């Protein structure tokens, strides 16, 4: 009788989750209308990369800095549960000679995993910066040490050479593992970060196949993790936030009025003390004013709507504009994830990507939109430099460049 009851309960649970999956379209909807703008006078160039470039920022008119992360193996296939995942890296793209190189991490602990995602720069002078990096530190040899980290590097520019020296780390608890999405440095001590998920990625405890119970337990954890996140999105439960962290005091604060379904990209306008935060599900950007006296405090002052779903944003102080990477609809991303392991089906998935530009001096008017199909799937970042627009993806290898003919 107990077995029959268990089967009935499992059946009802399965039907309930299937219902939610079937109705995701009714919730998320076809939330964009495709207009291909400014495509005909441009040409595409795809630069091959070793791994997907999850995030991208502009150092200056000559260089882009990119984080290389095997994010599909972490977020989609969950290979870190049973397989070793090669470390990612910080890549430097030279805009003039179109060269992409992996920057050596000087003094970085050799045994410490490095899986970087969000990036932020704080300039000390024209040749010296602090680079802050989100690191989903997956320790395959000792999974109990899996943790979410924010690494601090000293970046120096000498002529055409860039060096990165590891300085120190801010470690979050395992409750944040896999959830921290984007970061913004306010000064050398104060940083802000967003979380994209209320539930952390589960940590596994053994690779030994003899421990079948732990193996099944972790599979159950992932089942709960994935479906609970879907439920939160389905029912519009805003349980992700914007946080500030004081590096010197070691204090974390949740910023008021920052809740979202899945908060994403951050960008900081240092001159005007304005912090921009993306909420893709709500299709908006929240603007916070950072307190000049207490920079770990922020006040929501405005919310602007976006036309498309945005992942990351970049504030360009030279042009006083915000650049955003468009990834089409959330449903397309889920379809892309579902087909990731099947290379043939992955190539057939139709996705839209693009670029959205906000002109701040004209009250955040959308001053440029570029949309394209399938040239690069799962756009995560987009940055304009002169007449070129650069795109990176968290799912597909490559750096896509749009150039005026």
All structural domains of the chain with their residue ranges: 31-404
Q: Bridge partners of 155?
A: 129, 164
Distance CA 21, CA 125 (A): 51
Look at residue 405 and give its three-state secondary structure. Answer: coil
216-266 tens-digit pLDDT: 555 666 566 565 666 665 555 667 899 999 988 889 999 999 999 889 999
8 Å CB contact between 399 and 68:
no
Residue 49: is its pLDDT beyond 60? Answer: yes
Helices and strands counted in the chain (H then E): 6, 24
The token duo for 95 is 């805009």
Among 400, 235, 243, smallest CA distance to 326 is for: 400
Question: In 10 A of CB 339, how many CB atoms?
Answer: 17
* Tokens coding 18: 């299937």
Instruction: Summarize the confidence of residues 302-319 as an average pLDDT.
Output: 93
Domain 31-404 homologous superfamily, CATH: TolB, C-terminal domain (2.120.10.30)
* Cβ contact 371:377 at 8 Å: no
2-22 vs 212-234: helix axis angle to the nearest 10? Answer: 40
Report d(CA 164, CA 90) in Å as an integer: 9
Q: Band the pLDDT of 23: cuts 50, 70, 90.
A: very low
How many C-beta atoms surround the C-beta of residue 255 within 10 A?
A: 22
Q: What is the pLDDT of residues 321-365, one digit of tens each?
A: 999 998 876 666 666 666 666 665 666 666 778 899 999 999 999
The tens digit of pLDDT for each residue in 370-403 reads 888 878 888 999 999 988 999 999 888 999 999 8
């Amino acid at each position: 009788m107990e077995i029959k009851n268990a089967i009935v309960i499992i059946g009802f649970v399965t039907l309930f989750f299937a219902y939610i999956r079937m109705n995701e379209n009714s919730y998320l909807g076809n939330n964009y209308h495709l207009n291909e703008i400014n495509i005909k006078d441009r040409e595409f160039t795809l630069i091959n990369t070793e791994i997907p470039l999850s995030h991208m920022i502009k150092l200056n008119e000559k260089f882009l800095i990119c984080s290389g992360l095997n994010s599909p193996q972490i977020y989609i296939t969950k290979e870190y549960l049973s397989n070793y995942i090669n470390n990612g890296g910080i890549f430097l793209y030279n805009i003039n000679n179109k060269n992409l190189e992996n920057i050596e991490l000087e003094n970085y602990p050799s045994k410490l995993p490095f899986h970087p995602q969000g990036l932020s720069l704080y300039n000390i002078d024209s040749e010296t910066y602090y680079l802050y990096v989100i690191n989903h530190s997956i320790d395959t040899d000792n999974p109990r040490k899996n943790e979410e980290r924010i690494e601090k590097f000293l970046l120096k520019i000498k002529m055409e050479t860039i060096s990165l020296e590891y300085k120190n780390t801010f470690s979050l608890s395992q409750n944040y593992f896999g959830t921290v999405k984007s970061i913004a440095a306010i000064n050398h001590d104060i940083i802000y970060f967003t979380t994209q998920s209320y539930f952390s990625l589960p940590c596994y405890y053994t690779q030994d196949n003899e421990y079948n119970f732990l193996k099944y337990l972790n599979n159950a954890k992932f089942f709960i993790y994935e479906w609970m996140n879907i439920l939160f999105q389905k029912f519009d439960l805003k349980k992700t936030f914007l946080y500030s962290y004081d590096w010197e005091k070691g204090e974390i604060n949740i910023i008021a009025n920052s809740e979202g379904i899945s908060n994403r990209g951050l960008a900081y306008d240092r001159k005007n003390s304005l912090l921009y935060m993306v909420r893709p599900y709500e299709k908006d950007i929240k603007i916070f004013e950072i307190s000049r006296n207490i920079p770990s405090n922020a006040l929501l002052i405005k919310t602007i709507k976006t036309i498309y779903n945005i992942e990351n944003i970049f504030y360009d102080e030279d042009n006083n504009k915000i650049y955003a990477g468009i990834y089409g609809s959330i449903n397309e991303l889920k379809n892309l994830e579902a087909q990731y392991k099947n290379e043939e089906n992955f190539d057939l998935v139709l996705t839209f990507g693009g670029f959205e530009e906000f002109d701040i001096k004209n009250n955040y008017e959308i001053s440029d939109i570029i949309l394209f199909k399938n040239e690069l799937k799962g756009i995560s970042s987009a940055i304009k430099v002169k007449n070129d627009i650069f795109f990176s993806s968290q799912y597909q290898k490559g750096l896509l460049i749009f150039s005026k003919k």
